[in-house]
Amino acid sequence: MTAEKETATKPLDFIRQIIAEDLASGKHQTIVTRFPPEPNGFLHIGHAKSICLNFGVAVENNATCHLRFDDTNPGKESTEYVESIQRDVRWLGFDWGSHLYYASDYFDQLHDFAVDLINKGKAYVCHLSGGEIREHRGTLTEPGKESPYRNRSIEENLAIFAQMKNGEIEEGACVLRAKIDMASPNIILRDPVLYRIMNTSHHRTGDQWCIYPMYDFTHCLSDMLEKITHSLCTLEFENNRALYDWVLDTLATPNHPRQIEFARLNINYTVTSKRKLLQLVTEGHVSGWDDPRMLTISGLRRRGYTPASIRSFCATIGIGKRESWIDMGVLENAIRDDLNQNAPRVFGVLDPLKVVLTNYPENLTEEMVAQNHPQIPELGERTVPFSREIYIEASDFMEDAPKKFFRLSVGREVRLRYAYLITCQEMIKDDQGKVVELRCTYDPESKGGTAPDGRKVKGTIHWVSAPHALRTEVRLYDRLFTAEYPDMDKDRSFKEFLNPTSLTILQDCMLEPGLLNTTNEDRFQFERQGYFCLDTVESAPGRPVFNRIVTLRDSWAKLNEPV
């Protein structure tokens, strides 16, 4: 389904209402939004919320959304990140058309705007150190102190700013500051820094610049230059709005985008901060940005999440003004809902126990007809080979089974889904007393799983024919953190809450043979085990490795739940 169809019928959130009003009143003929990532890491699920909002609003209004890289921090940014971000936005189903921009493309213009501010007497070069600037800033209850450099002449400011630009002043010796109000109740307006000297190469402009503009100066002007109408950002920028407006008002720019803040996405049992995700990657706590346990877009993609499920998740959580926490289960439900509708069912035995059907012919293979989706007949049927030796889940047998255990135990009968009724006659143990094999008999009259005499057999289990099985690796995932709010403990690092069992690798799973031909786009329900897909990194030709995307919760699973 396209992003367009999904969003068209939703009730309007407060941002969409503002936009609708601005269009209705004629304030804007068309709207322009932007998604402005800094290319200093991979995108995460929080960014997906912002992407779905900015691009979603554009799609709904037949308008454009720009992708703009906010690349003003050369030390931390790279082309690798630029590429991954484009890949992720596209994968999510959105398109910026020809509107790909970089703040670094505006460095010349931004510099000229800074010179304008100096000429207006609204910016000055300040030689206080970083620490001194902080000390002068004051607190919420006390006004700040003016810098001794605040009232130098426009000519002097222009001359020193030119020296800064020309590389004649060493890094850290001075900055350009806006001249606003050191007593403002909004601390951000207490003469914020606009430019600093950095002798660092930029991934796009190389060594052309040794001064780089700050976020607050860059962002509003980039929005203005691109004629953005609504600049949507997260709540932590609420106080920055006054500076956003001050810069544009003071420069009397031809247009003035409106900044609107919304609550960022917080999900429990995870961290959504690029800085922290980067630590997990560089310190080797995960295998990379695309580790299937990471809530990065690339991690979710590798895990098997569909773009539609992530868009649907973002639509479910909505856009609001108040900070809140979303339960990880909401995200899991989004992919579960999608796959429950769309994923074909197959058989995969994760913890195999061999069963020999003693009265089944030695060399016979039957092709059993299995439905691909019990509720959606259009998904068709497939055949699954059946033979004298099969594997079942070890947990489907119990030696001392309670009465309500409706699966196998010596003397009990169970249905092999789409095959036969079998009765366990004998268990075989190894030296340690572990059950390693079952001897069962099958009822030849029960093909398809129905007893000829109408006797009731309650339990139904899945199976895979042993000689035909695809023996391979399956990876199960749990939450990456054991604490609900891993980065909220002031005294402990979020890394102390890493879940030591978040990855389980099962080496000898037995899957129905058709799964050998799985492609990267395929997703399956392994009946009773959850939803699975190919792991694009671990798989090799002829040796597919599967990821569990999410566990299962449907009636068929419940029917057979352990007692």
The residues that are catalytic are 38, 264, 274
**Cα–Cα distance, 26 to 397 (Å, whole number):** 70
Beta bridge partners of 346: 526
Supply the minimum distance, in Å, between the C-beta of residue 234 and ligand ATP: 4
What is the helix, strand, coil percentage profile of the chain, to 5?
Answer: 30, 25, 45
Beta bridge partners of 464: 391
46 vs 299 by CB, closer to ligand ATP = 46
Residue nearest to ligand ATP (CB): 46
Supply the minimum distance, in Å, between the C-beta of residue 228 and ligand ATP: 12
**Cα–Cα distance, 424 to 435 (Å, whole number):** 13
Complete DSSP assignment for 80-102? HHHHHHHHHHHHTT---TT-EEE
Return residues touching ligand ATP (CB under 6 A): 36-38, 46-47, 49-50, 233-234, 264-265, 272-275
Structure tokens at 150: 């605040």
406 vs 481 by CB, closer to ligand ATP = 481
Query: What is the DSSP-derived secondary structure letter of residue 286?
Result: S
Supply the minimum distance, in Å, between the C-beta of residue 34 and ligand ATP: 9
**Cα–Cα distance, 292 to 533 (Å, whole number):** 11
274 vs 388 by CB, closer to ligand ATP = 274
Supply the minimum distance, in Å, between the C-beta of residue 488 and ligand ATP: 15
CB 101 within 8 A of CB 67: yes
- What residue type is 154 in one-letter code? I
79 vs 153 by CB, closer to ligand ATP = 79
49 vs 230 by CB, closer to ligand ATP = 49
Structure tokens at 531: 């939803």
- What residue type is 487 in one-letter code? D
Supply the minimum distance, in Å, between the C-beta of residue 233 and ligand ATP: 5
- What residue type is 55 in one-letter code? F
46 vs 544 by CB, closer to ligand ATP = 46
Structure tokens at 332: 């899991």
Q: Which residues of 384-422 are buried (b: 16+ CB within 10 A; e: fewer)?
A: bbbbbbbbbbbebbbeebeeebbbbbbebbbbbbbbbbb
**Cα–Cα distance, 550 to 304 (Å, whole number):** 9
